[in-house]
């Protein structure tokens, strides 16, 4: 799978959170990751 992102958002995220999107993509391939369903999520923001 290939990922692409807006370079301005990438820099903003790096400055704000200290995490580069390039590194964050690794979490999507983590075989030890645990995903939970939020039963309280009604799809509203």
Long-range contacts of 31-34 (CB under 8 A, 24+ apart): none
The H or E element containing residue 8 is: helix 7-17
The confidence score (pLDDT) of residue 15 equals 96
* Chain segment 1-45, per-residue pLDDT in tens: 888 999 999 999 999 999 999 998 988 889 998 988 888 867 666
The confidence score (pLDDT) of residue 2 equals 87
């Amino acid at each position: 799978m290939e990922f692409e992102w807006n370079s301005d958002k990438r820099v903003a995220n790096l400055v704000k959170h200290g995490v580069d999107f390039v590194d964050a993509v690794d979490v999507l391939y983590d075989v030890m990751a645990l995903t939970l369903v939020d039963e309280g999520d009604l799809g509203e923001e």
